[in-house]
Structure 1
Amino acid sequence: MATSINRRNFLFSTSMPAASVLVGGIHHGYGEPVDPIGTFEPFIQRDHLPDPVIIDSLDLHERDGNWFIRARSKDGAEGWSVGHPSKMELSQRTFTRVISPYMRGKDARDLDQLVDGVFVSGSNYKMQGQLFWVPLAAAEFAILDLLGKVAKCSAADLLGGQQRRQIDLYIANNHRSKDPRESLRRITKSVASIEAKALKIKIGGRMKVVDQVPGRTEKIIPMVAESLGERCTLYADANSSYLSVKKAIEVGRILEANKFAFYEEPVPFDYLDETKQVAEALEIPIAWGEQESSQWRFKWMVENSSVRIFQPDLFYYGGLIRSLRVARMAALRGLDCTPHISGGGLGFLYMGIYAACCPNPGPHQEYKGLSDNFPWESTGDKITVKAGTMTAPNGPGIGVNIDPGYIAKANQIK
């Protein structure tokens, strides 16, 4: 579709106070819930959806460890998505007993409101975290596919407009248990596999562990810079490795000296003040947000933390709409919102939709490979990866069809 949105429209007006730009106004009233963050302006574009699209069913199916979600309207239209493989297995009852019953009978065009409504319905807010937001994300993706197929437009167009046709990628690597030389060999191989122009390495030992291989971090950083720094943008992810702010800053100085472009999650992810201290001490941009599930904390971190790159996970944070809200918050400060991609499902596809419609996704998007665990095909331009870029999904809905014959043999989860 030709629908487009520019950065100015995305922000509404950069001269307005942050709260009023982010939201449609903070509503006060007796007997009604009042959220201090306000009510977000909707992303779903109704131009091609003049009539209600009532959700008749929202079903979960499983085959070979893959979790498929079908959204069906009362008129018989269908949308499909694929959930996070391991997290959907754990959260399947949340989907079937909480998410699906809430969505049935609702107008899918109200999806922006539905992702908030299901959270505050009953005591659902007490389930805040991945095992709530992952199944909601899967439901949202299927409903977006349904809406796009009804409207005959892409999910990116539904969410504001297709900004780009090609997505520049960084290839993610995870070789913490390997010595520096073997790590470099594997990183180099992964870069060559897609002719990547950007890459991300793992440093530290993950979650309060300084290093799995003693001294690896201090060695691998300059080795990667010397070998690949001339042809690739370099990023580094500590995954909450450093309990000490001092140590996190020391590693940050090494990254700066080797011209790395961001430093992800240097201290434990929920150490908000310590994250702020590290960000303020270093020149290298700090990236943060993979584990966050609260819109309020994202807003606080955007406004107060000195973090410069925000990273909601499209599964863990509850989908595209909530992640695009974080992008809108970040854009007000002139900052990027580059989502984290957890592996499996159709994560690459949801990343492509996000980057296609978001004005401030950052220069490169995380890439962990195309899904090959089940048969699928593009419904628009063929989705390929070459020369470090991926074709943006632009077919109706989420831009792919999953082989109906494969899904027909899946087990429905009741």
Structure 2
Amino acid sequence: MKITGIRTFLMQVGSPDLETRQTVPVPKSAQPFGGTRNWLFLKIDTDEGITGIGECSGWPRVVETAIKDLAPLLIGEDPAHIEKLWQKMAIAMMGHGMLGTVGGGAVTGIDMALWDIKGKVLGVPVWNLLGGKLRDRIPIYSHANTVEKALSLKNRGIKALKCGGVSDPVRKVAMLRDAVGDEMDIAIDLHGPPWMTPADACRLVRKLEPYELLWVEDPIAPDNVEGYRRIRDAAHIPLAAGERTATIFGERQLIEEELVDVIQPDTGRAGGITQMKKIAAMAEAHHIQVAPHSGSLGPVAEYAALHLLASIPNALILERIDDDWEGRKHTIVPHPVQEGGSLAVPNGPGLGCDIDEEFVARFPSDGNVSIPVQESGGAYAPGTYGERLYVQTRLSRRHYFNA
């Protein structure tokens, strides 16, 4: 079998339904969906008529160009040799510097599609190729920043939620815990930059200790890895990070120095199923759990995450926003089966899914860059919104750090 071509499918979609994340105005054609989020899928064709599907994140509009640049390296190759092709792509990109999330995103979609082909050739699900299945269902969590949304999730049987943003985080967590009681796990995502210095993060996580959180996510900028050690020493609360880096090399320090309790590789840009499996194994050796990031991803990456989490012992939970955009369920065939707080592990050959190409083509990409918050969101210190700082020490500290 030989690879004959790679096709890409880029689409404009809606934004996550998060009250704290708002985007800049978008082109007219994207207005019905309210955001600048893009999903990028690809298909690898072979001379035997078997096609593999994958998904890429990490700035999808730019990643699409990277895929087209890599494609000639793969034409004529046997898709069965996944590790060999991964290494070939990594070496080809090495001259541009570290992989980063753009290179990682390109390799991820291709790698995912290669696993899909292998599963289809052998007639087995991808989880079977990864060592077999430990569990039939994967627990999920969703997002809520209001009492109404949190109770809606609870009524649907979802047993964990994550809130976001840095405007009054202690008050928000206290409000949500009071609403849902002890029956639901709560996590909070502080979104990394530009919100926190390590000193501020230490103060904040200590304030959050009484609420028994599932984790505090990205409390500081991802490039300030040393800062995680300060936070670890300051408070007894689970820390989570890892969505903004790619490959085992990007996740290595967080794992090997045990700076986090939960590692969160992004299923669309971590380097593919090949790398996700290695990251999980590294984490297992350090008693670290795996909870893949997928809050902004499309449904193909979700399928890939289900196969991975079914096959690794240190799987914790999967992020899922199933009500962010009505078009999500029309993009994928079949739609994942959710019952209450979990998703069924797919059993079809390969990944077990496909996209509706005609539906995807109806939503061409217009833009893929957004400003995360508006001034009213309260993330920046008063009077500093126009500065758009990457790192900022908090002002009005007495109010901010006290519920």
**TM-score (normalizing by structure 1):** 0.74
Query: How many pairs are equivalent?
Result: 334
Matched-pair contact (CA < 8 Å) for 1:245–1:274: yes
The residue that corresponds to 1:198 in the other structure is: 160
Q: In structure 2, what is the equivalent of residue 95 of structure 1?
A: 67
**Which residue of 2 is the match for residue 245 of structure 1?**
198
Corresponding letter in the other structure for 1:60: T
Percent identical: 21
State the partner residue of 2:137.
166
1: CA distance between counterparts of 2:232 and 2:130?
Answer: 32
Instruction: Write out aligned runs for 1:183-222 (5 A).
Output: 183-192=146-155, 194-204=156-166, 211=167, 216-222=168-174
**What's 2:51 paired with?**
78
**Match for 2:272: what amino acid?**
G
Letter of the 2:322 partner, please give it. G
Query: Shift of residue 218 of structure 1?
Result: 2.4
Residue ranges of structure 1 left out of the alignment (5+ in a row): 1-52, 176-182, 205-210
Report Cα offsets for 1:219-238 as digits up to 9, x if no partner. Answer: 11111111113210111111
2: distance between equivalents of 1:108 and 1:156? 18
Aligned amino acid, residue 332 of structure 2: W
Note closer, same or farther for the CA distance 1:139–1:231 as it changes in structure 2 (3 Å cut): same
Q: SS at 2:102's partner residue?
A: helix
> Which residue of structure 2 lines up, in the alignment, with residue 138 of structure 1?
109
1:300 to 218, 237, 253: 253
Q: Which amino acid in 2 is paired with 1:252?
A: V
Query: Which position in structure 1 is the counterpart of 2:395?
Result: none
Q: Deviations over 1:231-269 (max 9, x none)?
A: 101111111155332321222122211111211111111
Maintained 8 Å contact 1:272/1:305: no
Q: Deviations over 1:160-202 (max 9, x none)?
A: 22222111111134x5xxxxxxx3323333443x421111111
| 2:333 is the alignment partner of 1:333 | no
AA at the equivalent of 1:105: G
Shift of 1:325: 0.9
**Which residue in 1 is equivalent to 2:178?**
226
Q: Return closer, same or farther for 1:385/1:63 CA change in 2, 3 Å cut-off.
A: same
1:327–1:263: structure 2 CA closer, same or farther, 3 Å change rule? same
Secondary structure at the residue paired with 2:134?
coil
The match for 1:118 is 89
Matched, 1:372 2:372: no
* Corresponding residue for residue 373 of structure 2: none
Distance (whole Å) between structure 2 residues aligned to residue 58 and residue 285 of structure 1? 41
Separation in structure 1 between the aligned mates of residue 198 and residue 109 of structure 2, nearest angstrom:
36
Partner-residue secondary structure (3-state), 1:230: helix
Report Cα offsets for 1:254-304 as digits up to 9, x if no partner. Answer: 221111121111111111111121022221111111111252342222121
Unaligned regions of 5+ residues in structure 2, if any? Answer: 13-37, 365-403
Counterpart CA distance in 1 for 2:192 and 2:11 is 34
Matched residue SS, 2:245? coil
Shift of 1:398: 0.8
Structure 2 CA distance for partners of 1:66 and 1:274, relative to 1, 3 Å? closer
What is the Cα-based RMSD across aligned positions, in Å? 2.6
Matching residue's letter, 2:44: A
Secondary structure class of the residue paired with 2:328: coil
- Structure-2 change in CA distance of 1:276 and 1:113 (3 Å): farther
Q: 1:344 to 1:223 in 2, by over 3 A?
A: same
Give the match's secondary structure for 1:266.
Answer: coil
Q: Is the 8 A contact 1:77 1:146 kept in 2?
A: yes
Q: Distance in 2 between matches of 1:218 and 1:389?
A: 28
The answer to which of 388-397 and 341-350 deviates more is 341-350
Partner of 1:60: 8
Equivalent pair of 2:40/2:64 in contact (CA under 8 Å): no
Higher relative contact order (CA 8 A, sep 6+): 2
The one-letter code sitting in structure 2 at the alignment partner of 1:73 is: T
Tell me the TM-score normalised to structure 2 length. 0.75
Q: Is the 8 A contact 1:248 1:266 kept in 2?
A: yes
Deviations along 1:306-344, whole A, 9 cap, x unmatched? Answer: 321111111121222212211100111122122111423
Q: Aligned partners of 1:140 and 1:315: how far apart in 2?
A: 10
CA distance in 2, matches of 1:308, 1:166: 22
2:268–2:297 CA contact under 8 A, matched in 1: no
1:401 aligns with 2:344: no
Secondary structure of the 2:124 match is: coil
